[in-house]
Amino acid sequence: MTLEEKVGLIHGNGIFRSGGVERLGIPSLKMSDGPMGVRREFEDQRWFLACKTDDYVSYLPSNSAIAATWNKELAYTSGQVLGSEARGRGKDVILAPGINIKRSPLCGRNFEYMSEDPNLIEELASSMIRGIQENDVAACVKHFAVNNQETDRLAVDTDLEDRALFEIYLPGFKAAIKKGESYSIMGAYNKFRGAQCCENTYLLKSILREEWEYDGTIISDWGGVHDTKAAANSPLDIEMDVKSNFDEYKMANPLLEAVKRKEISEDEIDKKVRNILRLMLRLKMIGEESEERESGTYNTISHQQEILKVARESIILLKNEENRLPLKKNIKKLAVIGQNANILHSAGGGSAEVKALYEISPLLGIRMELGGNTEVTYRPGYYVSYQKVFDIIGYQETSTDVMAERAKRKKVWLELEKEGKEKRKEEERRLREEAVLLARETEDVILVVGLDHHQDMEGRDRKSYELPYAQEQLIEEVLDANPNTILVVFAGSPVSMQKFIGKAKAIVWSYYNGMQGGKALSDVLFGVINPSGKLPESMPKTLSDCPAHKFGEFGTKGSVYYNEGIMVGYRYYDTEDITPEFCFGHGLSYTNFTYKDLVVRVNKGKGVFLSFSVRNTGKVAGAETIQVYVSDPVCSVKRPTHELKGFTKIFLQPGEEKELMMELKPSAFTYYCTKSKKFVLEGGEFIIEVGSSSRDIRLNQTVRVE
């Protein structure tokens, strides 16, 4: 292989593909965004939509929704569906899953991520990756590393203490590699300790290649490479970008010339090429097994059925006073209020957007559930005014230039209108009054509120913890008009509920839940299925309660230091006894579960084994997620009150009881020692806690672990 051919392999030669070597039969790697489904097709040579009619796909629940299931099997199933659809669309690499820690509720991409807790991420991400790669498609876990905000995302320099790095922010990636065996990984946009993540020798070489012994392919985020020498001398294998001048990428002609000038060793190029060829062999793109490669399918009925299973288990019942839920199906009249009842979310959010074959909205799902014997009346309730009219380019910019360029080739009509402030206020008032009147006149009311992809989106963080579009005023007035109103919140991140939490008797939470989201929601509301979702993140009462914001560091003057250290999410709230609105792991059911008979046995050097029983004491079948936390009350370093170290989900019929056995490995009791630069087990007494959430511990026992 010539030097020119080798260099051609390690950078983009199309917007979503790397180069190939036709002379040797080495193909290009075809990639696609895909955290919620394979993204629509782009033109090969430019960042423009291809406007095809055959790139509709299945729209999956977001990673936040998958995490809310607390179900490893469903994470695996989600991966299988995503991998099959990617392969069916002819892709080799799907740029998923995103597993960055949810540090702040304001992060615009939180909906793409799983949790604030590394253990939950470890288990679900590794399961999802295995499902993806069964289809001979590479998962590309992202964004490595410490990438937790969209503000100044291309240049912000992040830093934190080593304990937080190794205990909170890296374990998910390590599990993705060691347990999930992810074939590829994507570098992040931000800097870490002064160096761009996609060129960062400490992250990519010291940790990824040497400490974790990773032999997979490292791919840059699109436009994440800034310096030819730094990138070439790092373990980065493929540079991708949004620009069309492929030969001018940092690892294209500039690298070729640098090698010819002896400024960079050709050996560095060879390492990258070997990693790329190894990936192709694993995917059966080349070699003896190429005829046996999976073909994949997309938009199948079986995929839609699997997506419904995930969506159903992801919905979280936050509050249910007076057993307001489930509703009865034989009601004669029902009011559905709120724009989020009728908004389709699949086409927004940035690189997570999906060209869905269909999407069932909450309103449609409710009407499908009730049929023609119930009069369902809808009112939007609030006014959605989008200042950003379209988002064509997606990653880096939003511009009318794209539309102007298209207009040169096709007839395009644009009608843009910017409403005045008074007109907007008048419309808000009118819609709110109509909704309140309907709520007052109707016995059963479902109010659907929340965020959309003009808040939950790539490239921008939310500016406020409060709900947008004057929804808080709508909620208060509707609840005053009808105190029995069922409140449904759709969002990718926690929102403030302070103004209405005391009034609402029933609150249901849904993350962006895929093409079957409305069907899944109606199944929960009307008792077709029993809700079993649990929060994968804490919901603070106020933004100032969140440690990322309480300590004043969300990024200033181009840098951010994580002053909260390891005290992220429930680790902080539970340790400092700060009551959140809803705690980590919380989620109610239409039935009740009791726990009993905890037995803990220590097997020296092999970990701790525990057994206990759980019984469904209610009248309907249901699922419970049992969470196991470890507390280290006496330690030479500060540790959180407790940390999640295991979980399992079981399904029980009314009156059914099951004995469960779980194992905690020795690593569950360790912390990262900054002096020895490794995880250590400080022998002594630990408390094993078994519960339904981080603040609902049912059983506990003290054991000595050495």
Task: State how far the Cα of 632 lies from the Cα of 655, in Å rounded to an integer.
Answer: 35
Phi and psi torsions of 495, nearest 5°: -135, 160
Nearest to 606 by CA among 699, 525, 672, 668: 668
What is the phi-psi region of residue 379: left when phi exceeds 0, alpha when psi lies from -120 to 50, beta otherwise?
beta
Under 8 Å between Cβ of 342 and 359: no
Contacts of 577 (CB under 8 A, 6+ apart): none
Task: State how far the Cα of 276 lies from the Cα of 282, in Å rounded to an integer.
Answer: 10
Please count the CA atoms within 13 angstroms of the CA of 482 that sit on its side-chain side: 25
Query: Is 221 annotated in the active site?
Result: yes
Under 8 Å between Cβ of 6 and 270: yes
Under 8 Å between Cβ of 620 and 591: yes
Nearest to 183 by CA among 69, 295, 109, 94: 94
The H or E element containing residue 696 is strand 696-705
And the tokens for 566? 């390891």
Given the residues 33, 117, 157, 221, the one annotated as active site: 221
Task: State how far the Cα of 233 lies from the Cα of 246, in Å rounded to an integer.
Answer: 20
Please report, in angstroms and rounded to a whole number, the separation of the first and last CA atoms in the chain: 55
Task: State how far the Cα of 102 lies from the Cα of 118, in Å rounded to an integer.
Answer: 10
CA-derived radius of gyration, the chain: 26
DSSP-based three-state secondary structure for 614: strand
DSSP-based three-state secondary structure for 560: strand
**What b-and-e string marks burial along 121-138, b requiring 16 or more CB atoms within 10 Å of the CB?**
bbbbbbbbbbbbbebbbb
Q: What pairing do the DSSP bridges indicate for beta strands 486-490 and 12-14? A: unpaired
Q: Give the residue numbers marked as catalytic.
A: 221
